[in-house]
Chains A and B, each alone.
Chain A
């Protein structure tokens, strides 16, 4: 199968660059999407980077979650071999610094990869069905991104080979590998646990925004790009058919008037919510997201001034990525461009009203709310007719059946 890279893909290497395509980066990303879908289906999917990862041993019984049964874990092989190749570096040299107005540091964007990816799936198990890989891949391709740094605009792809995918086939393939007779032969059990605050497709939102451009140089007016518009590295990026607008949008959302979409008026400790929603490179408390410093009374610990607690290292987060991903803009036709805003916003963070934020964001993108987006100052004066093309989120009770929702995502259905 061939995959077209729409906005650069990032699969990092040991030098913190992305000079060539690392299959492990793509496989990890596919697993992330599979887990999110499984959790949406009320299946347990472990955090494979956490201490509670599979297998879970209870007495003499080994238990694996469905994600590990598909992608493998200690003691159980992946059901398929995935050969991934292709992609070429966009430019040589260091990262481009895109610094929107009033920012001191800006966003650093490294080369990434352009071109096409060849993906070859080789079954290693008789019970493997390609839908287990293709359905998550298709949902990621239609609505989100693959690879790393999707919050910075990387990773939008398109499946070149058009295959009609049905969610019921994913469900069927899953049932097949979870058959009790099969698991008994393997001497393992399906793990049923609780998915505690882990990415879940039911808690994700997806939006696509389109706009028209008046000339081919419109991108030179994008906030943050203007000062580096003559940089050859950026010109090479633009030649791939994508424009890194993520810094402009995120800057507005986090630091500018976009704050009104997520910030409550009475908040005093706004940085906690900000860290939770938009990420931070500081070490923060894992429960309140307040920045922590070394504890003077216990040098091994960290002090959270909000919780008034001394925390162990593992009770803190070293860094946090943004929950909101903004893709690069990519061309739809000669005059129309599109970008995606999507993310996983779970319920339950203290002081954050998820529904309010998503409603505000949707209305702002749609242009029918009280808060409007200053599109021309963000994307430049040569862009016009910005409109929310589609907004998707799981919306019970109107969409009470998750399978129908996932099928609609596969079919690219849904309106704003």
Chain B
């Protein structure tokens, strides 16, 4: 006994891969599917087994393909893991009763219409493209950072790009986005990254935007600030394996198939977003209400575009990462603290109507 996982369960023969896949012989004690997937790693050492460890062969699926796709072993285990997550109170609804006036929460179940892909940051895996999984439970998830990044990008597309010819409006919306999401990446003496991109997108709005920040925060330099939106991770209930097989241009045949893990279409998760209007606190209630509702409407528009049109995953330009615009109404919730009670909605149109009613003063 070496007390080293990868040495004890090392793959030395092709048969080891089959035994590992089925959980027999020395691999019997590896009851956790993710551990068996990690143990596949030692097949990397031998080139002749590498592809077999990924998918088996034409006659017989084995390795990762079996564990994730053919046998559905991972999905069986995900159900158990998700119940553990719930039991520990990790993926539950958020209580906003202690938050300031005007805070709001949007939450609703989401069902994937097209697969979702993200890239995990594990240093070694048997394929190049593992889907991002929670480190503790091994459940595939969309991190809160991913939600934030995707929503900010989508709101730039849907709110900022259409007004590039109107610098004052551009500056105003860019400022609003900064309050919602926090300081832009690249906001340095020599602008780079996101900031440079937006500066270049509408150069005439550059100074107006910076002036607004300085005016609001009373400093010479634009400060580092946190955004008013708080994102939560989405845990998915299914995982699957897909393949892209780029065709050699000379032989017109598939060459070096690229395997990638996905959360497949039909998988269910939960989206939660909380907003705290701390940059508007102290303002008179009608004014606060106007600002909060404006932010809410803009964010909903962004969410709708992100989830139904642009997608929120890797490979989104290939159509991945969009959801069904129809969910279980009873599981949804919109509450605006001190402004509106809880409302239910079954799709984005209903959500927008709810907000219109709240804005019109009919809180029903």
Q: Which residues of A contact B (CB under 8 A)?
A: 12-16, 22-24, 27-28, 32, 35, 47-50, 72, 77-78, 80-85, 122, 124, 126, 148, 151, 185, 197-199, 279, 286, 317-323
Contacts and interface: CB of A to CB of B under 8 A. Distances in A.
A80 B310 CA distance: 10
Contact of B55 (A14, A22, A28): A14
Given A28-B247, A81-B311, A126-B161, A321 B253 contact: yes
B318 A27 contact: yes
Given A14-B55, A126-B161, A83 B319 contact: yes
B318 A82 contact: yes
Interface of B: 55, 58, 61, 65, 69-70, 114, 157, 161, 200, 241-256, 259, 309-311, 315-320, 322
Nearest to B321: A81
B317 A72 contact: yes
A78 B248 CA distance: 20
B318 A23 contact: yes
A321 B251 CA distance: 6
A199 B246 contact: no
B319 A320 contact: no
A24 B317 contact: no
Given A77-B317, A84-B319, A16 B58 contact: yes
Contacts of A279: 251-253
Contacts of A22: 242
A185 B200 CA distance: 9
Given A14-B55, A14-B65, A78 B247 contact: no
A193 to B, nearest CB: 14
Contact of B317 (A35, A124, A151): A124
Nearest to B257: A14
B318 A24 contact: yes
Given A14-B65, A84-B319, A49 B161 contact: no
A221 to B, nearest CB: 31
With a 10 A CB-CB cut-off, give which of B114, B248, B249, B311 has the most chain A CB atoms.
Answer: B249
Given A14-B243, A49-B247, A122-B309, A319 B253 contact: yes
Nearest to A325: B252
A contacts with B: majority SS: loop
A23 B319 contact: yes
B242 A81 contact: no
B319 A319 contact: no
Nearest to A12: B245
Contacts of B320: 23
B43 to A, nearest CB: 18
A50 B253 contact: no
A126 B249 CA distance: 30
B84 to A, nearest CB: 29
Contacts of B319: 23, 81-85
Nearest to B320: A23
A301 to B, nearest CB: 14
B161 A78 contact: no
Given A14-B65, A321-B253, A81 B246 contact: no
Given A13-B242, A14-B243, A47-B248, 19 more contacts: A23-B320, A24-B315, A27-B318, A47-B249, A49-B248, A49-B255, A49-B256, A81-B316, A82-B317, A84-B319, A85-B319, A122-B309, A124-B310, A198-B249, A279-B252, A318-B255, A320-B251, A320-B253, A323-B252
B310 A24 contact: no
Given A81-B319, A185-B200, A24 B244 contact: yes
B242 A197 contact: no
Nearest to A196: B250
Contacts of B316: 81
Nearest to A320: B251
Nearest to B309: A122
Contacts of B243: 13-14
Contacts of A72: 317
Closest 9 pairs (CB-CB, A-B): A321-B252, A49-B246, A78-B317, A23-B319, A47-B249, A83-B319, A320-B251, A319-B253, A14-B243
14 contacts: A13-B243, A14-B259, A27-B318, A49-B255, A72-B317, A81-B311, A81-B316, A81-B317, A81-B319, A83-B322, A124-B157, A286-B250, A321-B252, A323-B252
Contacts of B245: 12
A141 B172 CA distance: 47
A45 to B, nearest CB: 9
B240 to A, nearest CB: 9
Contacts of B253: 279, 317-321
A148 B245 CA distance: 10
Contact of B246 (A13, A48, A80, A82): A48
Contact of A197 (B157, B250, B310): B250
A242 B167 CA distance: 57
A83 B320 CA distance: 8
Contacts of B247: 28, 32, 49, 148
A84 to B, nearest CB: 6
Given A81-B317, A81-B319, A84-B319, A14 B200 contact: no
A233 B311 CA distance: 37
Contacts of A84: 319
A121 to B, nearest CB: 11
A323 B245 CA distance: 19
B69 A122 contact: no
Nearest to A318: B253
Given A14-B69, A49-B246, A81 B200 contact: no
Contacts of A27: 318
B249 A122 contact: no
Nearest to A36: B249
Contacts of B200: 185
